[in-house]
């Protein structure tokens, strides 16, 4: 996801998790009141979505995302529609009084904005329409025509999964995020608030062999690390078995989804040619 890719040295949020969650939700809510669609991405989205399953969030206490003694979050990642770019800018700059990064504004054109909290407690990445890292996760470009309205205040669970599994060189923290997500949420064949829409995930991957290759590889890594954490006593048998069963359910749906001609054509080339995008570093 965004905090894993296209970024320089790791910086951390200078607020306790619950205070950061409340602030992020206030930002999204304030935008909503002004008719601006913003949705939370990444680990924070998983944390918010898993609050109704305390045992899932407890996994973060047992397996630290960044290691012992490190904060949980690095920044606030948001997705917006490019049709509302002007409104987003006015909201952050005139209403919230956030500072902005002019260099990043020039470099990223209409794809991304970076803002800094007035007291430098954290920074905000606002992405427009899609995430473009190792692979693309597409949300649409205007209200009422995209995927952002499927959930609130975060993107949908299926999009969170795609956001995480698109990472070519997946990090331990992203695997931990996926373990928490799968423990707290089952896999379904439709869009539901607290169930991962496996059918949508499968359809996206059935049209893009490169994305499919990295996604299925990463889901198998999640299983492998789940086994490892069980052997180390960091996961209970119940937690282990639940995560494995749900990942397997999603892998089965991905496997059974009919592949497009585009997918089949690219599959013949395989890994003999690059199948992912090299991610540029953004140094702050």
Q: How many domains does the chain have?
A: 1
Structural domain boundaries enclosing 265: 2-270
4 phi/psi in degrees, rounded to 5: -100, -15
Cα–Cα distance measured from residue 246 to residue 279, given in angstroms and rounded to the nearest whole number: 30
Model pTM greater than 0.85? yes
Is 277 part of any domain? Answer: no
Is 281 part of any domain? Answer: no
CA angle 224, 239, 244 (to 5 degrees): 40
Is 283 part of any domain? Answer: no
Cα–Cα distance measured from residue 11 to residue 243, given in angstroms and rounded to the nearest whole number: 30
Is 282 part of any domain? Answer: no
Is 275 part of any domain? Answer: no
Cα–Cα distance measured from residue 91 to residue 269, given in angstroms and rounded to the nearest whole number: 46
Cβ-proximal residues to 78 (8 Å cutoff; 6+ apart), any chain: 27, 28, 38, 39, 40, 41, 124, 125, 126, 127
- Identify the pLDDT of residue 261: 98
Cα–Cα distance measured from residue 167 to residue 2, given in angstroms and rounded to the nearest whole number: 9
Is 99 part of any domain? Answer: yes
Is 276 part of any domain? Answer: no
Cα–Cα distance measured from residue 226 to residue 150, given in angstroms and rounded to the nearest whole number: 29
Is 206 part of any domain? Answer: yes
8 A C-beta contact, residue 217 and residue 283: no
pLDDT tens, position by position, 20-31: 999 999 999 999
- State how far Cα 284 lies from the chain centre: 21
- Identify the pLDDT of residue 1: 43
Cα–Cα distance measured from residue 81 to residue 128, given in angstroms and rounded to the nearest whole number: 5
Strand-pairing partners, residue 192, are 195
pLDDT tens, position by position, 190-238: 999 999 999 999 999 999 999 999 999 999 999 999 999 999 999 999 9
Q: Which residues of the chain have pLDDT under 70?
A: 1-10, 109, 280-284
DSSP state of 135: S
- Residue 259's CB is within 10 A of a number of other CB atoms, namely 18
């Amino acid at each position: 996801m965004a905090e894993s890719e296209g970024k320089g040295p790791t910086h951390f949020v200078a607020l306790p998790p619950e205070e950061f969650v409340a602030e992020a939700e206030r930002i999204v809510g304030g935008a909503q009141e002004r008719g601006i669609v913003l949705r939370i991405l990444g680990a924070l989205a998983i944390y918010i979505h898993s609050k109704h399953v305390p045992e899932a969030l407890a996994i973060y206490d047992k397996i630290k995302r960044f290691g012992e003694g490190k904060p949980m979050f690095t920044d606030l990642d948001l997705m917006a529609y490019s049709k509302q770019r002007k409104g987003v800018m006015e909201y952050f700059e005139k209403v919230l009084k956030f500072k902005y990064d002019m260099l990043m504004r020039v470099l990223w054109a209409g794809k991304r904005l970076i803002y800094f909290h007035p007291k430098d407690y954290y920074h905000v990445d606002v992405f427009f329409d899609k995430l473009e890292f190792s692979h693309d996760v597409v949300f649409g470009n205007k209200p009422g025509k995209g995927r952002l309205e499927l959930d609130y205040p975060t993107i949908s669970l299926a999009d969170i999964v795609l956001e995480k599994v698109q990472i070519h060189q997946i990090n331990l923290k992203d695997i931990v995020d996926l373990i928490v997500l799968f423990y707290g949420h089952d896999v379904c064949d439709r869009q539901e608030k607290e169930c991962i829409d496996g059918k949508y995930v499968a359809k996206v991957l059935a049209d893009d062999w490169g994305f499919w290759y990295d996604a299925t590889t990463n889901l198998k890594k999640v299983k492998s690390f789940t086994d490892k954490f069980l052997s180390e006593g960091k996961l209970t048998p119940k937690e282990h078995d639940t995560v494995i069963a749900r990942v397997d359910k999603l892998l089965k749906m991905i496997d059974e989804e009919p592949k497009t001609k585009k997918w089949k054509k690219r599959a013949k080339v395989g890994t003999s040619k690059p199948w992912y995008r090299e991610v540029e570093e953004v140094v702050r």
